Structure 1
Amino acid sequence: MLSHELNPARVVPSPRATAGHTAGSVGNTPVVWVDTPFTADGKGFWAKLEGHNPGGMKDRPALHMVARAKERGELRRGGLIVESTSGTLGLGLALAGIVHGHPVALVGDPGMEPIVHRLLLAYGTSVHLVDRPHPTGGWQEARRQRVAELLDGNPGSFCPDQYHNPDNVAAYEPLAAELVAQLGRVDVLVCTVGTGGHSAGVSRALRRFFPDLRLVGVDTTGSTIFGQPARSRLMRGLGSSIYPRNVDYAAFDEVHWVSAAESVHTCRTLAAAQYASGGWSVGAVALVSGWLARTLPAGTRIAAIFPDGPQRYFDTVYNDQYCAEHGLLDAAPAAEPDVVGHPAEREVHRWTRCANVVVPDGALAGGGR
């Protein structure tokens, strides 16, 4: 029997719940079948198009984390919402700030896409850009330190702290319920991993229905999350230079690392073949999902989370000049990933798979280095 919280019959909100505000359109995103350009034999995977939310997938945790903070009294009346973001959560927090009547201050870095920066300003947020990475924690740690300064200077303010807040994980239960209602069965779930929120939240909820569900994580080269060394990274929305406590290492059956060039090629190829595409995270998760569709037995039902659409990436992924300057053009991924037996076996620079997911040294403490 389906639990009350995850009953797919309860997924579609009532007209009263959706009337009168943009927030009512968050959720109930479509799924589409994707085969070409990855397969030609009837196999494929289902893509959950989270770009159909007003600001993307992170509208879900933004609204949930702010609502829960208000319920607990952590966010006071008129208090400032402050967060570190590469963009997507910022768009969600801009919506949450409007819904709940709170000002929003967001901390980014020079890698924030120009269109996102301009949208955040248009939505009434203030945007603070740090100008240099932290010596060991990279841009993420530099942003987090600026967040701490803003919190200290604004009594009554609140930081959702998406990397370590369990409300970020809980916010994705409705997404899992939608997948159950839409697909009936999910055998394999493919998620990119950044804060760890949606991979933990969706998989945890789905396993109540499908205990044998396999979770495949997709990270970027140069990310520390699964035990690789921290390096400068072009891709935003996945990967980390710190160890988010929301990452549920025990939940993963395998992890893949994908490079920026491989993601760009996949994004563009997918757009031309399917029209449904997106940015860095979508390219990475689609590459891995396509390989799984080719190699797993026929009939395996694969669900891949596409966190956003392509529109905000016209200055990066879909900009030939940007891609040429960063060496991202004409780099078609191999047909198969490299394989390592342990995440620390060697540093990886291209699409690589590891079926031995371990907790990296230092990750248990959380919060970076």
Structure 2
Amino acid sequence: MSVIPNLNGQRVSALSAVGNTQLIQLRKIVPPTGAKLFLKLEYQNPTASYKDRMALSVIEGAERKGTLGPGMRVLEYTGGSTGSSLAMVCAVKGYKFIAVSSDAFAKEKLQTIRAFGGDLHLVPSDEGLITPGLFTRMEEETQRLAAEPGTFFVDQFHNTDAFTGYEQLGRELLLQTSRIDVFAAAVGTAGMLMGVSRVLKAQNPRIHIVALEPASSPMLSRSLKGNHRVEGIGVGYVPALLTRENYDEVIEIEEKEARQMARLLARQEGVFAGISTGLNVVAAARLAAKMSAQDTVVTVAADSGLKYLAGDLFYD
């Protein structure tokens, strides 16, 4: 991708647009009493997802280590947002990208991977549901492709280079608000929650970190697997990046509530985001309602509602 000099004479690309997203206060969907609730608009990243942070940090981490270089291809299994982010980073850097995904995930996300030049290997789902078995089959297909020469397997569920990108998110939060009492976010790979937690707890160990999951798949809270349609989270096992000392509580949220909140955010707050964002805000609002007016709860708008228009999210 061609680059042009910016006003400071530095050469920039689309990758320079990753991060530095805005933090807004939600005012209409929160109770009149209780803590202030802030939402980090991660859909302002280039592919409209917080996963851009992870994609850039893991690719540049691999380049520094020498495990990824010219002529190699990048491989990952993904529900879509990670694939879109990796495809974008690879397009800028000149790597071929292969995504193993499934028809269970939003068509918009899969089409975005192709738009950035990525190749898709689709694993059939069970009637469109996100199930533990689906992730197992996707991982098996990925391992087969990873064995081929010249392949860098990102391995987002174990790659600690993801923390680099998400720690920057935590540092941005500290600059954007003078006080954080609670940070709550849904768990997929757990990279974002753990990266932010490492920064926030280093600044103030009393900040309460809350991990969120779908009530129909309460693996973190009750060690139970289940099916759901909240893309990007609730993978059916405890992710390796999730360390118990870096979070304080787990809350289960009903998928129906998450979907309703996504619609309310658009109609009442002007925030156009996806299902996991709805889940994040349901939990954050519930926590804020129990706290004082001096307190602050922060969560994340993980991706844009534009990624869900082909589905039923925005239909009552």
Corresponding position: 1:175 with 2:169: yes
Alignment identity in percent? 27
Corresponding position: 1:235 with 2:220: no
Corresponding position: 1:281 with 2:276: yes
Asked which structure has the greater RCO (Cα within 8 Å, sep 6+), the reply is 2
In 2 relative to 1, CA 126–47 (structure 1 residues): closer, same or farther, beyond 3 Å?
same
Whichever residue aligns with residue 201 of structure 2, its letter is R
Query: RMSD of aligned C-alpha atoms?
Result: 1.9
Q: Aligned pairs, how many? A: 305
2:307 to 307, 312, 316: 312
Residue aligning to 1:256: 251
**Cα distance, 1:132 vs. partner?**
4.7
Instruction: Report if the CA contact (8 A) 1:18-1:25 is conserved.
Output: no
Residue aligning to 1:194: 188
Point out the structure with the larger helix share. 2
Instruction: Measure, in 1, the Cα distance between the counterparts of 2:167 and 2:314.
Output: 35
Residue aligning to 1:367: none
**Cα distance, 1:316 vs. partner?**
2.5
Instruction: Measure, in 2, the Cα distance between the counterparts of 1:316 and 1:174.
Output: 32
Residue aligning to 1:161: 155
In 2 relative to 1, CA 24–16 (structure 1 residues): closer, same or farther, beyond 3 Å?
farther
Residue aligning to 2:292: 297
Structure 2: runs of 5+ lacking an equivalent = 1-5
Residue aligning to 2:3: none
Structure 1: runs of 5+ lacking an equivalent = 1-13, 321-328, 330-369
Instruction: Give 1:198-209 correspondences, 5 Å limit.
Output: 198-209=192-203
Whichever residue aligns with residue 27 of structure 2, its letter is D
Instruction: Report if the CA contact (8 A) 1:35-1:42 is conserved.
Output: no
1:151 to 146, 154, 170: 146
**Cα distance, 1:36 vs. partner?**
1.4
Instruction: Measure, in 1, the Cα distance between the counterparts of 2:197 and 2:250.
Output: 14
2:206 to 212, 223, 232: 212
Instruction: Report if the CA contact (8 A) 2:197-2:247 is conserved.
Output: no
Bigger shift: 25-34 or 106-115?
Answer: 106-115
Instruction: Report if the CA contact (8 A) 2:84-2:110 is conserved.
Output: no
Does the residue aligned with 1:158 lie in a helix, a strand or coil?
strand
Instruction: Give 1:103-118 correspondences, 5 Å limit.
Output: 103-118=96-111
Residue aligning to 1:53: 45
Instruction: Measure, in 2, the Cα distance between the counterparts of 1:73 and 1:223.
Output: 38
Residue aligning to 1:23: 15
Residue aligning to 1:269: 264
Instruction: Measure, in 2, the Cα distance between the counterparts of 1:189 and 1:231.
Output: 25
Instruction: Measure, in 2, the Cα distance between the counterparts of 1:290 and 1:253.
Output: 17
Instruction: Report if the CA contact (8 A) 1:17-1:24 is conserved.
Output: no
Point out the structure with the larger strand share. 2
Instruction: Measure, in 2, the Cα distance between the counterparts of 1:109 and 1:95.
Output: 19
Whichever residue aligns with residue 197 of structure 1, its letter is G
Does the residue aligned with 2:251 lie in a helix, a strand or coil?
strand
Residue aligning to 1:119: 112
